[in-house]
Structures are given as C-alpha cells and as structure tokens.
Amino acid sequence: MAFLKFEDIDKSFGENNVISKFNLEVEKGKFIVLLGPSGCGKSTLLRMIAGLEKIDNGKILLENNLLNDLLPSKRQIAMVFQSYALYPHMNVFQNISFGLKSEKISKNDIKDKVIEAAKILKIDELLERRPKELSGGQRQRVAIGRAITRNPKLFLFDEPLSNLDAALRSEMRVEISKLHKKLKSTIVYVTHDQIEAMTLADKIVIMNKGKIEQFGSPDEIYDNPNNIFVAEFIGNPKMNIFKIKIEDIINRNTFKLFNKEIKFENVIFEKEFYVGIRPEHISLENKSEFAVDINVDLIENLGSEKIIYSHLNNAEIRIKSTQNIKDKNITIYFQKNKLYLFDNNKNRLKS
C-alpha cells in the first residue's frame, strides 16, 4: 500500500492549468524529490498536500485517509518553506515550540522536544536568540526544528536551501540527508537544483508543465532517461543532442553522425531522430572507432575537471575531461555503447 498517493490531481488558476492528471505513489520512509524548472507546478503540488491550496479534481491520500477536505492543522504534515517563515519577535525556543502550544502537551515535554530537536540540528546553544541574530543556515535549521518537534507523518520541504550561499547549501544538504536517515521520515522535497535532487532523493519525480516526465531513482534517471527533456535536465553540462536528418539515414539500421557510419542492429530508422551522448562519455584518451577532429572554442577549468566547448556542423559539443589540453585541434572519441537514441517526438528509442 502506498503511504502517500495522488490520484488524477488537476489544478488550475483561472485559465492557467498548472497540474494535470497527476498520479504518484510514495512509499513510507522514502525521500522523494520533485524536480523541475521554475513554474512547472512543484510548489502548487506541495501546497495542495499541506492543505494551503484547494484541489480542483482528484484525490490525495495519506495512509489511505483522504486529505482533500481536511484542515491543514489536522493533516499531521509539517512544511518547511524557502523563506523560513520564522516569527521575528520570538526567540529560537519560542519559534521551534510554536506549533506545540496549541496541542495539549505539558511545558516540560515541550522543553524536552525542543531541546532534542535543537541538539539534532546543532542549534541548542542558540535557543535564546532572535531570528535576526542568526545566519541563514541557522534560521533554516530553526524552521526544520519546528517541523521535527511536531512529529509529523510527512515532511514537506519547498526549496529550503535556495536562499543559502553555495558552501552552506552543500553543508545543509548533507545535514538534511543525515536527518532523514536518523528520523526515517517520509519527505517530499521540492527543488529546481539537480544536485540536490541527485544527492538527497531515493526517488526523483521529474516534472514539466504540471506533468511527470519520469519517476525513478537518481541512477535510473541518469542512466535511462525517458526522453530528451529528462536527459537534458539531469547532468551538468547537459547531454549533447544531435539531430539525424533523413539524408543522414543510410539504411534501416545505419546512420551517419559527423560523417561516421553507426549501425544499430535492433533499431529501425525511418524518420529523422536524435542521438545523445553525455559530455563525460566523450573521451580524449580512450580511443574508439568513432573519432572526430574538432577545434576547441573554450575551456572551462573547474579544477579537477575541464569542460571543453566546441562545435561541428552547427552542432554544439560539450566534453568533460580530466586531461590538460594544450592544443586548439584535438581528436575526441565517442563510446558507441553510451549513445542514446530518441525518436522524432524526443522519446527514448530503446536499442
């Protein structure tokens, strides 16, 4: 049985259809990340789970209980917002304990819960401070602390790290991952950041315009993207995509890419289609039959890795390498078993 279940969810704002026929089942204890470009409906979906937004059609069920018409306070769900949503006039203790006061819990129990959460989040030294006396990362921990003390069935996180600088973001990413392992809670986490999604998620939902493009583990999504949207969304720099025109198709099994013939025994090429290869699967040293000479346009030095930008026949080429490149003219090698094929609708052609 699914712990959290979405059945045919629809949501519009006026004429703007934001979520359509959304179906998903989440298992208990899993860390689910909703990943997609800005405006694709991630926050709207989260707000519908929390009860902050009305559902037009469909059902959301938590442990088989229909959430649709339950008040937000009755859902046993805690949400952590990007903006932290702390009360400026309250100190850290008061902010964390805020949600508990309305429940019938003794003062001592509240104190124990707050201290326990504060210890987990390493803010137990800061309980007397006001939000303005805290760093961004500390404020975010307070917001998470407030969620933890409510002991919810489900945690919702809406881009909780996007207001933090890069170093803090990666630190908090690790903290949140540890927190999940410790609490074994079910989490639905929204982000537009593929690194957060890849590092945190048990399973990722790739969303585009209110629909699911793919639902799978980080490895499944990286290794077996359903379509070009997913293939380009995961991986940095993004996958190289080359269009194969009718005139490049030599026979039903063979086509030409950069004047090299490539044969796939189990695929039939009839219409134009696309070939993809990740920048990390084009090599400068591992020689293959598929060798192409290119001119280097630009090299981005990331320290341990270089990103080489080039182009050939109007196609941009991106290569990831650890090699130091001195020459302007280099030979690159494609690994044939790392090529992805997509049909003319941009869906994956299985080979």
Residues forming the site for ligand ADP (CB under 6 A): 13, 16, 18, 36, 38-44
Question: Which range, of 41-49, 137-145, 148-156, 200-208, touches Mg ion by CB under 5 A?
Answer: 41-49
CA distance 142 to 88: 12
Nearest to 341 by CA among 251, 271, 282, 292: 271
Reduced to 3 states (helix: H, G, I; strand: E, B; else coil), residue 161 is: coil
Does residue number 43 form part of the binding site for Mg ion (CB under 5 A)? yes
Name the phi and psi angles at 331, rounded to 5.
Answer: -105, 130
CB of 46 to ligand ADP, least distance (A): 8
The CB-of-124 to ligand ADP minimum distance in angstroms stands at 33
Q: Does 44 bind Mg ion (CB under 5 A)?
A: no
* Closest CB to ligand ADP among residues 11, 348: 11
| Tally of residues, the chain | 351
Q: How far is CA 117 from CA 72, 123, 181, 271, in A?
A: 23, 9, 15, 59
Two tokens, residue 292:
């192409």
Nearest distance, CB of residue 220 and Mg ion, angstroms: 25
CB of 82 to ligand ADP, least distance (A): 10
Nearer to ligand ADP, 81 or 264 (CB): 81
Nearer of residues 43 and 226 to ligand ADP, judged by Cβ: 43
Picking from 2, 3, 350, 334, the residue whose alpha carbon sits closest to that of residue 153 is 3
40 touches which of ligand ADP, Mg ion, none (CB within 5 to 8 A by kind)? ligand ADP
CA torsion angle 11 13 16 21 (round to 10): 0
Nearer to ligand ADP, 36 or 145 (CB): 36
Total chain residues near Mg ion (CB under 5 A): 1
Helix (H) or strand (E) holding 283: strand 282-283
Query: In the 8-state DSSP scheme, what is residue 34?
Result: E
Strands 254-257 and 260-263: antiparallel
Residues 177, 183: Cα–Cα separation, whole Å? 10
CA-based R_g, the chain, Å: 24
Q: Residue 104 CB, nearest distance to ligand ADP (Å)?
A: 34
In Å, how far from its chain's centre is CA 179?
18
Q: By CB under 5 A, is residue 138 in contact with Mg ion?
A: no
Q: Quick one: which segment of 35-43, 102-110, 281-289, 331-339 binds Mg ion (CB under 5 A)?
A: 35-43
CB of 10 to ligand ADP, least distance (A): 13
Q: Name the residue nearer to ligand ADP (CB basis): 80 or 277.
A: 80
97 counts as binding Mg ion under rule CB under 5 A: no
Return the number of the residue (43 or 283) whose C-beta is nearest ligand ADP: 43
Using CB under 5 A, list all residues that contact Mg ion. Answer: 43
